[in-house]
Amino acid sequence: MTQAVQVSGLRKTYTTKKVTTAAVDGVDLSINTGEIFALLGPNGAGKSTTVEILEGYRHRDAGEVSVLGEDPQTAGTRWRERIGIVLQNTKDLSLLTVRESLRTFSYYYPNARGADELMELVGLSGKADAKLTALSGGQRRRMDVALGIIGRPELLFLDEPTTGFDPEARRQFWDLIRQLRADGTTILLTTHYLDEAEALADRVGVINAGKVIEVNTPDRLGGRHGAEATVRYRDPSGELVSIGTNTPTETVRELMQRFDNAEIPELTVARPSLEDVYLKMIGVPAA
């Protein structure tokens, strides 16, 4: 398996009022070609700085970085044609129509997708002649993605892509991301939505205080797959009971005997969610 991104010992510091702070403090990271990788972390954890270094927009102080086989700090135009970037907020060409914007940006790439193909791909065919200022938030985000993939990037950076979306729009957007992955695009996703990371990512990395805490699949992060399960039910007195157990099947079997094999009221069996283990990893107390 080849790596689209390889990072070793990455470090970036900032000095404010004679106080030096390590925003990124020895990060090691690899992203496989063709995967969706979600980078998670609270605000100020070093997530944005790391991504900006990978994109070539910020210089590092130390460490080795390879993105699509080149150092972003010294890579040229040919390398930039191979990546796509979808920022959290954009206001480019807002007075142009969707079709005019796509045609304008297509001149920057040697092998650009056509405007009609892009509009079909992101679901904006019906808005071809609408100005960008007339698009809804979800439509504008689709337009941002169209601009990000116009050059057929091998690696796509997505920064908080569904912020402000309603649930239906988010799931439609997820389908688009899955389609891009199926077409062979490697995707680096940053998001604060843990259900989004779980739905889309092949692997997730958690960064906090400038350090990567763990990289794993969503179902195994933080030992989630082997964590204690919680069995909840309502007993005959009306009290909601919670039982922590490593053998939930046996616990449910015992409850069935107690209830004479009748329906157990409000029975649920759950292991920690991705959000539960993530919050624990970054030091947020359980509710």
pTM score:
0.87
* pLDDT recorded at residue 55: 96
Contact 248, 269 (CB under 8 A): yes
pLDDT for residue 218 is more than 90:
yes
Nearest Cα to 218, choosing from 141, 275, 180? 275
86 — phi, psi (to 5°)?
-115, 105
The pLDDT confidence band at residue 170, using thresholds 50, 70 and 90, is: confident
Predicted local confidence at residue 284, as pLDDT: 81
User: What is the rounded CA–CA span in Å between residue 161 and residue 145?
Assistant: 9
Q: Where are the beta strands (DSSP E) in the chain?
A: 3-16, 19-32, 36-40, 62-67, 83-86, 155-159, 186-190, 203-208, 211-216, 229-234, 240-245, 268-270
91 has pLDDT over 80: no
Quick one: tokens of 114?
Answer: 């056509």
Indicate the CATH number of 3-221 among 3.40.50.300, 3.40.50.620, 3.40.50.1100, 3.90.79.10. 3.40.50.300
Amino acid at 180: L
Burial status of residue 74 (CB atoms within 10 A of its CB: 0-12, 13-18, 19 or more): exposed
Can you give the pLDDT at residue 88?
73
Would the pLDDT of 92 be above 70? no
Q: Is the model's pLDDT at 231 over the cut of 90?
A: yes
Distance of alpha carbon 13 from alpha carbon 7, whole angstroms: 17
Say whether pLDDT at 64 is over 80.
yes
For the segment 13-24, the average pLDDT, to the nearest whole number, is 89
Q: What pLDDT score does 115 carry?
A: 95
Q: What pLDDT was estimated at residue 31?
A: 97
Distance in angstroms (rounded) separating the CA atoms of residues 210 and 11: 8
Higher pLDDT, 154 or 94: 154
Query: For the chain, which residues make up each domain, given as ranges?
Result: 3-221, 228-270
**Amino acid identity for residue 191 in this structure:** T
Query: What backbone phi and psi angles, to 5 degrees, belong to 89?
Result: -135, 130
How high does pLDDT run on average in the chain?
Answer: 91
| Average pLDDT over every residue of 240-264 | 92
Q: What is the structure's pLDDT at 173?
A: 85
Structure tokens at 194: 């843990």
Q: State percent of the chain over pLDDT 70.
A: 97
- Residue 244 above 70 pLDDT? yes
**pLDDT over 80 at 90, yes or no:** no
262-272 tens-digit pLDDT: 899 999 998 88
pLDDT confidence tier of residue 287, bands split at 50, 70 and 90 = low
Confidence class of residue 153 from pLDDT cuts 50, 70 and 90?
very high
**More confidently predicted of 218 and 139:** 218
pLDDT range class, residue 62, cuts 50, 70, 90: very high
Is 35 a residue whose pLDDT tops 90? yes
DSSP one-letter code for 131 = B
pLDDT reported for residue 16: 85
**Greater pLDDT, 64 or 173:** 64
Distance in angstroms between the alpha carbons of the first and the last residue of the chain: 40
Let me know: does 240 contact 234? Beta carbons within 8 Å: yes
Contact 177, 156 (CB under 8 A): no
